[in-house]
């Protein structure tokens, strides 16, 4: 790669090298291959400069844009705008700018109270580089106050983790599609840099279409000789937990354990803590301040590991990370390469171990099927908006369409990103436009689904390997064939754990109980048949309760599923487990009797279980809650809280002739939205019952 032919003579290689050494903290550091050429290309030319850097994790892509930003500012250019997808990535990048003497600011979801100050500093030319999330491109304040001014005034635009732009990228982010319109409006004299570590040929072709024409592509090698890659098939969670408990203490340094779901990350952390290991969970819902503390604890080796969802991924920089272990297999080898590449970036040897489980396929299938709305869901949304001239808010739409909240929000976002868009957002309301949804939308959805199915199959090939793991990853990423190095000097880890530890893990899982929290408000609009709305008084709520297990997960979860849909009778093992739970939970005030939530489609298993449990507890059982006969759908068919609540409006009544007195244990098989427990508890309290303690056999969700 050469600098632009109209290159400026004021590019200072000595200053660039000095900045590199300051950033790394090594007075003898030198640029890696292509780093200085990339900086010179961005800083030196006067004409069109658009560059895509595809380089492996740890190569130093951030040094390219931070040093280029500093040099451009010294040459009198405007502030650099950096689009960065994750808060963890932003925090690492801001720390680096301080070492380089670059004044950085950020506008993101975690610092709303600072936005006005940052915008003011930007207007006063007191910021060298502004870091924003792609979602800011959709924010009205940003579009009105920042975007128009800095589109052409910026010294450079940088798109980090640029594979997110591509429909084919492993971590497609819909808001990244707004970058295409930005690029079309970008003047030729404003350089554009896009960077990624994980882009195969298909992604690069897509990026050339969006960021080009005339996009310069610099693609480096993908080999990571410091990594020992290993795959171990361990179908059951209890055996994987046992393996982690035995192997983690033997591994040098600290690392990351990736899971596919939030419940699995939290469960693995609790288990490893119970074995005396300092392991914490890092997931999407983790508070932003706690995330910062956890990242710093890992960087400073104050914890052995973080169990994490992909919320801790792109851009997290710890050069001496000793291991990355996958508790379950991700959906593609591209995702896997990106995550495992966090390890061994600045040390001689690190482990990258993939533990595949029996549940992996079901979880990945769920994610794949949830990625895009169905035709019927899109039509529901468009029909609801068609019937409302004034437009509808997200809450209004939830009350009108049977779609989960997050899925509905994603559907709206995807539809607004179409060109032309069939709907727009005016203030907080969504409204239809004159444009119809084009067939290209559904063609793209079908192509992507096919691609992801092929990627799943490719991941299964990787799992089955006994050797040649790095070669496989490089080929999957369309990397240049190269001689694969091996500098790690490590030995593969054993594939099995001890029988004793597996027994302890199974016992732990049998005690993994889940909370059932009381709802404090009725849904918007209330429940008309029961004539209730607004707050649920404390004397009409149930107390915090417990669920024995997660639906379909582990031995107990599978027993619940089998009892409900196959045997139509719940196992005695579940009775024993619930008795143990109640003994350790010890709810106060102590229940004096047992009731159960009535089931319309499967009435016998829950009532039978509640009777048997009551007998073991030495308590009377009263079938005081009855179905009213009102026709309703199965609660699992209701996709959001509004519909789940309305579905049971008027569905239950209390037979006062059978009413018990005093605190009651209220039993059900599955708790999901919590509305069944809420309504049943309200009815019991309304008819003179005592405090209500909910007990469910399983909690929906998770794996």
Domain containing residue 613: CATH number: 3.40.50
Any idea which of 136-150, 205-219, 593-607, 662-676 has the lowest mean pLDDT?
136-150
Same domain, 640 and 578: yes
> Is 5's pLDDT higher than 50?
no
Same domain, 299 and 342: yes
> Is 7's pLDDT higher than 50?
no
DSSP code for 162: G
Dist. CA 64–CA 68, nearest whole Å: 6
If one counts every other C-beta atom within 10 angstroms of the C-beta of residue 349, the result is: 18
* pLDDT in the model for residue 172: 66
pLDDT in tens, 246-272: 999 999 999 999 999 999 999 999 999
Mean pLDDT over 304-318 rounds to 85
Q: Is the dihedral of CA 146, 150, 151, 155 positive or negative?
A: negative
Same domain, 356 and 374: no
- Supply φ then ψ for residue 691, to 5 degrees: -60, 145
Same domain, 525 and 646: yes
Mean pLDDT over 432-457 rounds to 91
If one counts every other C-beta atom within 10 angstroms of the C-beta of residue 629, the result is: 10
CA distances from 663 to 582, 584, 593, 684 (A): 14, 18, 7, 10
Please say whether the beta carbons of 383 and 403 come within 8 A: no
Same domain, 28 and 172: yes
User: Is 451 part of a structural domain of the chain?
Assistant: no
> Is 637's pLDDT higher than 90?
no
Burial (CB < 10 A; 0-12, 13-18, 19+), residue 589, is exposed
> Is 633's pLDDT higher than 80?
no
User: Is 154 part of a structural domain of the chain?
Assistant: yes
Same domain, 590 and 671: yes
pLDDT band (50, 70, 90) for residue 144: confident
* pLDDT in the model for residue 86: 64
* pLDDT in the model for residue 80: 92
pLDDT in tens, 645-656: 989 999 999 987
> Is 12's pLDDT higher than 80?
yes
DSSP code for 166: S
> Is 2's pLDDT higher than 60?
no
Percent helix, percent strand, percent coil in the chain, to nearest 5: 45, 15, 40
User: Is 503 part of a structural domain of the chain?
Assistant: no
Any idea which of 213-222, 351-360, 571-580 has the lowest mean pLDDT?
213-222
Mean pLDDT over 179-185 rounds to 83
pLDDT band (50, 70, 90) for residue 47: low
Residue among 263, 279, 242, 281 nearest 547 (CA):
263
pLDDT in tens, 402-424: 998 889 998 998 999 888 899 99
Dist. CA 80–CA 66, nearest whole Å: 9
The conformational region for residue 161 under phi > 0 = left, psi -120 to 50 = alpha, else beta, is: left
Please say whether the beta carbons of 214 and 175 come within 8 A: no
Same domain, 261 and 306: yes
Dist. CA 453–CA 225, nearest whole Å: 30
> Is 150's pLDDT higher than 80?
no
Rounded to the nearest 10 degrees, what angle do helices 499-510 and 554-562 cross at? 60
Dist. CA 179–CA 338, nearest whole Å: 22
Please say whether the beta carbons of 393 and 270 come within 8 A: no
Please say whether the beta carbons of 522 and 645 come within 8 A: yes
What SS3 string covers 199-214?
A: CCHHHHHHHHHHHCCC
Residue among 519, 524, 530 nearest 399 (CA):
524
Element (H, E) at 181: helix 179-185
Going by their DSSP bridges, the two strands 545-550 and 514-516 should be labelled as antiparallel
List b or e across 170-197, with b for residues whose CB sees 16 or more CB atoms inside 10 angstroms: bbbbbbbbbbeebbeebeeebbbbbbbb
Mean pLDDT over 315-327 rounds to 90
Q: Could you please report the per-residue DSSP string of 212-274? A: -SS-EEEE-----TTEEEEEEE--SHHHHHHHHHHHGGGSSS-EEEE-SSHHHHHHHHHHHHH
Q: What token pair was written down for 467?
A: 């050797």
CA distances from 392 to 399, 413, 430 (A): 10, 14, 5
* pLDDT in the model for residue 168: 62
* pLDDT in the model for residue 46: 63
| Domain stop point among 397, 413, 443 | 443
User: Is 335 part of a structural domain of the chain?
Assistant: yes
DSSP code for 535: B
Dist. CA 369–CA 379, nearest whole Å: 17
Dist. CA 377–CA 479, nearest whole Å: 39
* pLDDT in the model for residue 89: 58
User: Is 504 part of a structural domain of the chain?
Assistant: no
Same domain, 181 and 291: no
Please say whether the beta carbons of 585 and 673 come within 8 A: no
CATH code, domain carrying 426? 1.10.10
Mean pLDDT over 102-111 rounds to 82
> Is 627's pLDDT higher than 80?
yes
User: Is 565 part of a structural domain of the chain?
Assistant: yes
User: Is 3 part of a structural domain of the chain?
Assistant: no
List b or e across 307-338, with b for residues whose CB sees 16 or more CB atoms inside 10 angstroms: bbbbbbbbbbbbebbbbbbbbbbbbbbbbbbb
Same domain, 200 and 253: no
Going by their DSSP bridges, the two strands 514-516 and 652-654 should be labelled as unpaired
Helix/strand/coil for 685 = helix
User: Is 450 part of a structural domain of the chain?
Assistant: no
Q: Which is more confident, 116 or 594?
A: 594
- pLDDT averaged over the chain? 89
Same domain, 116 and 183: yes
Same domain, 526 and 437: no
Q: Is the dihedral of CA 11, 26, 470, 454 positive or negative?
A: negative
CATH code, domain carrying 36? 3.40.50.300
* pLDDT in the model for residue 161: 86
Same domain, 296 and 379: no
CA angle (73, 79, 80) in 5-degree steps: 95
CA dihedral 320, 325, 329, 331 (to 10 degrees): -20
- Supply φ then ψ for residue 549, to 5 degrees: -160, 180
> Is 170's pLDDT higher than 60?
no
Mean pLDDT over 692-698 rounds to 97
pLDDT band (50, 70, 90) for residue 454: very high
Percent with pLDDT over 70 in the chain: 93
Any idea which of 141-145, 197-201, 542-546, 687-691 has the lowest mean pLDDT?
141-145
Q: How many domains would you assign to the chain?
A: 4
Domain that holds residue 657: 511-699
259 alpha carbon, distance to own chain's centre: 10
| Domain stop point among 172, 191, 219 | 219
What SS3 string covers 670-682?
A: EECCCHHHHHHHH
């Amino acid at each position: 790669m050469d600098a632009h032919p109209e290159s400026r003579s004021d590019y200072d290689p000595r200053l660039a090298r000095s900045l590199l050494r300051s950033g790394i903290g090594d007075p003898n550091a030198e640029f890696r291959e292509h780093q200085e050429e990339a900086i010179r290309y961005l800083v030196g030319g006067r004409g069109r400069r658009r560059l895509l850097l595809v380089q492996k994790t740890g190569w130093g892509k951030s040094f390219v844009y931070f040093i280029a930003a500093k040099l451009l500012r010294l040459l009198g250019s405007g502030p650099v705008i950096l689009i960065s997808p994750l808060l963890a990535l932003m925090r690492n990048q801001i720390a680096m700018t301080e070492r380089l003497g670059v004044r950085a600011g950020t506008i993101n979801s975690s610092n709303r109270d600072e936005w006005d100050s940052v915008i003011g500093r930007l207007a006063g030319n007191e910021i060298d580089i502004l870091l924003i999330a792609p979602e800011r491109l959709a924010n009205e304040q940003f579009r009105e106050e920042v975007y128009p001014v800095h589109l052409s005034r910026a010294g450079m635009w940088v798109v980090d983790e640029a594979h997110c732009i591509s429909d084919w990228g492993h971590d497609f982010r819909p808001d990244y599609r707004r970058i295409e319109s930005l690029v079309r409006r970008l003047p030729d004299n404003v350089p554009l840099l896009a960077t990624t570590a994980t882009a195969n040929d298909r992604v690069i072709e897509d990026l050339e279409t969006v960021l080009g024409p005339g996009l310069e592509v610099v693609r480096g090698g993908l080999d990571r000789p410091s990594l020992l890659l290993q795959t171990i098939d361990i179908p059951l969670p209890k055996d994987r937990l046992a393996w982690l408990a035995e192997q983690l203490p033997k591994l040098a340094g600290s690392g990351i354990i990736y899971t596919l779901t939030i419940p699995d990350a939290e469960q693995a952390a609790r288990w490893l803590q119970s074995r005396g290991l300092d392991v914490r969970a890092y997931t999407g819902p983790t508070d932003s301040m706690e995330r910062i503390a956890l990242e710093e604890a890992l960087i400073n080796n104050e914890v052995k590991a973080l169990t994490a969802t992909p919320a801790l991924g792109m851009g997290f920089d710890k050069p001496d990370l000793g291991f990355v272990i996958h508790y379950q297999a991700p959906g593609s080898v591209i995702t896997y390469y990106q995550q495992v590449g966090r390890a061994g970036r600045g040390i001689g040897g690190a482990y990258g171990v993939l533990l595949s489980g029996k549940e992996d396929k079901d979880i990945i299938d769920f994610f794949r099927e949830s990625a895009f709305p169905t035709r019927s869901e899109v039509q529901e949304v468009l029909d609801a908006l068609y019937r409302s001239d004034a437009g509808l808010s997200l809450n209004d739409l939830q009350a009108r369409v049977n779609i989960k909240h997050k899925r509905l929000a994603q559907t709206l976002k995807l539809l607004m990103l179409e060109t032309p868009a069939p709907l727009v957002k005016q203030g907080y309301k969504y409204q239809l436009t004159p444009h119809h949804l084009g067939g290209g939308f559904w063609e793209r959805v079908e192509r992507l689904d096919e691609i992801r199915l092929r990627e799943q199959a490719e991941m299964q090939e990787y799992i089955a390997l006994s050797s040649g793991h790095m070669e496989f990853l490089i080929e999957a990423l369309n990397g240049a064939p190269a001689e694969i190095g091996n500098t790690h000097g490590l030995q593969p880890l054993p594939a099995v754990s001890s029988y004793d530890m597996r027994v302890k893990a199974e016992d732990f899982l049998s005690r993994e109980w889940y909370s059932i929290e009381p709802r404090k408000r009725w849904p918007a609009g209330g429940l008309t048949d029961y004539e209730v709305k607004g707050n649920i008084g404390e004397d009409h709520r149930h107390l915090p309760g417990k669920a024995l297990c997660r639906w379909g997960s582990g031995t107990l979860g599978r027993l619940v599923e089998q009892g409900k849909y196959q045997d139509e009778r719940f196992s005695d093992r579940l009775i024993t487990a619930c008795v143990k739970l109640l003994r350790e939970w010890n709810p106060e005030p102590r229940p004096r009797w047992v009731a159960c939530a009535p089931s319309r489609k499967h009435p016998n298993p829950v009532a039978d279980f509640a009777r048997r449990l009551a007998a073991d507890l030495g308590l009377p059982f009263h079938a005081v809650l009855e179905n009213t006969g009102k026709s309703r759908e199965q609660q699992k068919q209701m996709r959001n809280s509004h519909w789940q609540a309305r579905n049971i409006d008027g569905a239950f009544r209390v037979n006062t002739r059978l009413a018990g007195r005093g605190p009651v244990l209220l039993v059900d098989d599955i708790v999901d939205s919590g509305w069944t427990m809420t309504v049943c508890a309200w009815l019991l309290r309304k008819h003179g019952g005592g405090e209500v303690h909910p007990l469910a056999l399983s909690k929906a969700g998770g794996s």
